Structure 1
Amino acid sequence: MKSKYIILSAISLPVLILDQITKVYIDRTMDLHTSITVIENFFNITYMRNKGAAFSFLANFSYRLPFFILISLIAAIVIIVVIRRLRPDQKFAAASLSLIFSGAIGNLIDRVRLGEVIDFLDVHWYGHHWPAFNVADSAICVGVFLLAIDMFIEERRQKSLK
């Protein structure tokens, strides 16, 4: 088995399992819209449901569910195709894409199972709250950030080869 597929499995499976376990736990142990303070004036566990994408984008769009399911499936397929095309030395890119893949699949599972996504990580500064998010959202954000770093490094590497 090629190392990029080992990386995909080694990252995606644990992240996906953690995402789903935390969402099921929150759903079974908390009432919707309740909060548990973890760090005063900074971080709560708050059970929310999001019918849209980031910041509830398109939450009221009539075809939102099939749209988000389709987008998630397309994203997952594109990521697999891109990982297949990576060179063997592009392990950092494979890891970054694996995080994005696991996040897309984690939220896809929620949309298929519930018609919406469970969010519960609530970062705030006193009364100013960032929209609640989950492990899958975190994996996507970290993956995109790391992929941007990898692309910058790869561009510099390509320039140095010329």
Structure 2
Amino acid sequence: MNITKDKVVSMHYTVKNNEGALIDTSDGKEPLLYMQGHKNIIPGLESEMEGKTVGDKVEATIEPTNAYGEVIEELIQDVPRSAFEGVDKLEVGMNFQAQSEQGPVNVVITNVSDETVTVDGNHPLAGQTLNFNVEVVEVRDATEEELSHGHAHGAGGHQH
């Protein structure tokens, strides 16, 4: 069975950045499940998976535009330290949810000074080219429940 829209795919994967640093892997864990054609994974990898079948091994280099996008400079801002009232210790790498005109946005602290805190609302992998090694473990038809929810469910049913 080939990977096409509405198929549930089980795959093992490893993803590294262009410097060869490991970003994530399913090695030693359960395979990743996703439903093809429903934007459950980044667009570039979903395109690479189209038509593959069980046992296929895929090596794919996905540019930022087909992964998590380019870095948007406007999403990096210096805010007054007073905006973090009630937080005892501010450190680089801490995550917060900020309110924006478009609703809540997840931000990470990238710099802390006496007066300001620099926050970045970009996805942590924005601007990065991603290198995937994937092995297709299983391909099956999606269930009616999966189709109505728009994503794959793990063994035993619903796993949100």
More helix, by proportion: 1
| TM-score w.r.t. length of structure 1 | 0.28
| TM-score w.r.t. length of structure 2 | 0.28
Specify the structure having the higher radius of gyration (Cα).
2
